[in-house]
Amino acid sequence: MTDETSDETRNREREPDPATGPRSHKPVVVVVEPETPGNVGTIARAMKNFGLYDLKLVNPPKFDPDGEAYGFAGHAREDVLPNAETVTFDEIVENFHTVGFTGITNESSYSHDRFPFKTPVELKEDLKTVDTKTALVFGREGKGLSNDELAQLDEVASIPADDRYPILNLGQAATVTLYELRELTVEETQLPDVEHARADEAELDRLYDFFAEFLDASQFPDHQRDRAELMFRRLFGRAHPTDREVKTLLGLVRRANEQLREREELLDELGYDDRWNQ
């Protein structure tokens, strides 16, 4: 192996895997001719929620520092919104792999202005395999992106919604999209990696034993016992209860068993028939 070949191999080893490794380019968000400052603030906030900071605006209105845009932006008023860059539509087309978003898609493949299209989930899966400068392009509140604008973009995406009212508010559409793309943009969330630890099997077995005692103490019909025990086991097998949850249930079932035993002894002392065992 030559030194040149060795260098090439080492360089390939250092390159991140586009599907799993860190991405050198996070998507930028572009809003074309926004009309409502509050929507731009909402988008800026959603961007910060999901790890994006590069906002580009085509022909935006002026933003009052005390107005809706900064009011709706939350903490994104500190960085995303004030650093937003004013650009032209042509600049975005020339410098980025572009994805335009629309609420209305063609119903056939005869026109490609709005077809084929991807959902945000499909877009996420596709972008996992590449590492390129991508622009997510959102249109105007009233009429979105025109067919002429969509024709200049590389891909079209649309959020699935009820066909009786498929058009989302601009801020909502951006928020839904960025949420679905979060695996590409957020390295770590505030949520723990593991939702909870399942209780030890020994503790679950104790619970199953207590339940069997409960069936005895409550004089549950013998011909239904096997099914009841199996259903109880299957229920907790699917639920993945925590240790604390199982301990709480153990205490409850143990208490119920003790009360049922005392009731049985009291009935015997008083000579009463047990109407539940007739």
pLDDT band at 201 (very low <50, low <70, confident <90, very high): confident
Say what the pTM is.
0.67
The confidence score (pLDDT) of residue 76 equals 94
Q: Say if residue 87's pLDDT is above 90.
A: yes
Q: What is the mean pLDDT of residues 229-244?
A: 88
CATH topology for 23-185 is Alpha/beta knot (3.40.1280)
Average predicted confidence (pLDDT) for the chain: 83
pLDDT band at 211 (very low <50, low <70, confident <90, very high): very high
pLDDT band at 130 (very low <50, low <70, confident <90, very high): confident
Please tell me the least confidently modeled range out of 35-49, 87-101, 107-121. Answer: 107-121
Q: Mean pLDDT highest for which of 4-18, 102-116, 235-249?
A: 235-249
pLDDT tens, 170-190? 999 999 999 999 988 887 776
User: So where are the chain's domains?
Assistant: 23-185, 201-277
The confidence score (pLDDT) of residue 107 equals 53
Q: Say if residue 262's pLDDT is above 50.
A: yes
The confidence score (pLDDT) of residue 9 equals 43
The confidence score (pLDDT) of residue 198 equals 81
Strand partners, 198: 242
Q: What is the mean pLDDT of residues 70-83?
A: 94
Q: Following DSSP, what letter does each residue of the chain receive, concatenated?
A: --HHHHHHHHHHHHSPPTTTS--S-PPEEEEES---HHHHHHHHHHHHHTT---EEEESPPP--TTSHHHHHTGGGGGTTTTT-EEE-HHHHHHHSEEEEE-S---SSTT--SS-S-B-HHHHHHHHTT----EEEEE-BTTTBS-HHHHHTSSEEE-----TTS-PPPHHHHHHHHHHHTHHHH-S--SS-SSS-PBPPHHHHHHHHHHHHHHHHHTT--HHHHHHHHHHHHHHHHHH--BHHHHHHHHHHHHHHHHHHHHHHHHHHHHT---GGG-
